[in-house]
Amino acid sequence: MEQHPPEGFPSALESTPCSQQRVSLPDIVAARPDTPVFVPGGPPRAPFDGPGHPSWTNPAYALHHARSWDSALALGAMPPLKGAAAPEGGAGARFLARLGESLAELAGSPLPHVAQVWGPMTMASTHVGTEAYLASLRNPAEALALTDAGLETALVSVRVVLRSRPTVLWIAEPLAAIVDPGALQLLWPHTMRRLMAEARAVGAEPVVHVSGSAAHVLPIAARLGVAGVSITADTPLATARKLLPAHAVVFGNLDSMRLLDRDEEWLSAAARRMVEEMRGRPFVLTPGSAIPPHTSVERLAAFVDAVRG
């Protein structure tokens, strides 16, 4: 169910005039007096209640969420994985159409926004199953055919969300971390270049999100020339500093489960350590790529607010 502002609460889309000037991701990071924060999920502050992702097809909710946490970017919803893998009809097509409409409204907002899609390898593994896709890696011709099919599916979502001219095209490729370096180099760059070319044609900058231990993924992402990389706690920030060029924006990288099993003092200290570790590099602090739904506002706030000032 969509969520809407309570009666009498002004629409986030109407509260500030739109700025027509496009600002690059590095400029957004550099312009902030504090370390920028990007909160991809978790409990919103009042007056909204309810879950995160399903409600983000409501653009007023997405903007309110970003403003609640003083986020650097407003986040458009991620297409459901199975729906994104079958975008030509049924629930997948309906959600994609709704997502395109909501992103079009975000395009008229004062905050830069992110459009999210799944990457070609993840789409390929969704088509045939992860085990079958990984088994295909023993046969390069088969793996290439499957990955190319995943690319064609991914492009359907990409072309819908890029109509809104987002600042960032967020390409989620969690499967990349479990593919060995040789296979990844064979399969991934040519498909990613296609997605990145589509993004840059409308002025959007590509950011790749990789789950798990991704040290072998980062050099390939760097050679592709992505604007930024989002990593999880399994990839240390020190590794990102070492393997990514100095201009690449790093999004990272609290283990979101720590929002449940650590107290506010620990979370504040963790945020400060992360900022200190990335000092001098373009860095956006994030509290995990999938925040548990029962995370308290107070614990999330302790992590986010630790970097203010």
What does the CA dihedral 259, 260, 261, 263 come to, rounded to 10 degrees? Answer: 60
Structural domain count of the chain: 1
Name the more confident of 301 and 6: 301
Q: What is the DSSP letter of 114?
A: E
What pLDDT was estimated at residue 4?
A: 40
Render pLDDT for 205-222 as a digit per residue (tens, 0 to 9): 999 999 999 999 999 999
Range of the domain at 179: 25-305
Residue 11 lies in a domain: no
pLDDT beyond 90 at 51: no
CA dist., res. 35 & res. 278, Å (int): 10
Residue 278 lies in a domain: yes
Under a CB-based contact definition with an 8 Å cutoff, are residues 163 and 100 in contact? yes
Q: Which amino acid does the sequence have at 27?
A: D
The enclosing H or E element of 172 equals strand 168-172
Residue 6 lies in a domain: no
Render pLDDT for 66-79 as a digit per residue (tens, 0 to 9): 988 999 999 998 88
Q: What is the mean pLDDT of residues 11-28?
A: 59
Q: What's 120's domain CATH number?
A: 3.20.20.210
What pLDDT was estimated at residue 64?
A: 86
Beta strands 205-210 and 168-172 are parallel
pLDDT beyond 60 at 116: yes
Residue 131 lies in a domain: yes
Q: Which amino acid does the sequence have at 237?
A: L
Q: Which amino acid does the sequence have at 43?
A: P
Q: How many CB atoms lie within 10 A of CB 16?
A: 12
For Cα atoms 5, 7, 8, give the angle at the middle one, nearest 5 degrees.
100
- Is the pTM for the entire model greater than 0.75? yes
